[in-house]
Amino acid sequence: MDYKKTKAPTTTVPRDLQELERGTGNIYESIMVLAKRANQINAELKEELNQKLQEFASYTDNLEEVFENREQIEISRFYERLPKPTLIAYEEMKDDQIYFRNPARDRK
């Protein structure tokens, strides 16, 4: 998924607990689904950022001078401005874009 085009807010806003309960019927279970999805999103974003920053990596042992690359700084700032993974996960759940299942419920 392209997280750069998400419509998730960049700031924290109060949420309605009844809206959280709608997806699973249990607030705790919904929060756990959101937490797991946020961890997945965070891992994907971190991997993508590391790949982009790897292009600027210097493998020489030069302790005298560490210069700042403007492009590298801009990439880092862009990723800092993205909404937090928890907010992206919440938007995905609100839009019914998250698939989840409970194996304990499936056995019954």
Q: For residue 80, tell me if it sits in a domain.
A: yes
pLDDT of res. 42: 94
Structurally, the chain folds into a number of domains equal to: 1
- Name residues whose C-beta falls within 8 Å of residue 81's C-beta, 6 or more positions apart in sequence: 10
Residue 70, Cβ density class (10 Å: 0-12 exposed, 13-18 middle, ≥19 buried): exposed
Q: For residue 42, tell me if it sits in a domain.
A: yes
Parent domain of 46: 15-56+67-102
pLDDT of res. 67: 61
Q: For residue 62, tell me if it sits in a domain.
A: no
pLDDT of res. 12: 75
| Token pair of 8 as six digits | 């998730």
Give the C-alpha separation, 6 to 66, whole Å. 35
Q: For residue 77, tell me if it sits in a domain.
A: yes
Q: For residue 6, tell me if it sits in a domain.
A: no
Q: Does residue 101 or residue 83 have the better pLDDT?
A: 83
| Token pair of 98 as six digits | 């998250």
Q: For residue 107, tell me if it sits in a domain.
A: no
Closest CA to 86 of 10, 2, 1: 10
Across the chain, mean pLDDT equals 82
Look at residue 66 and tell me whether its pLDDT is greater than 60: no
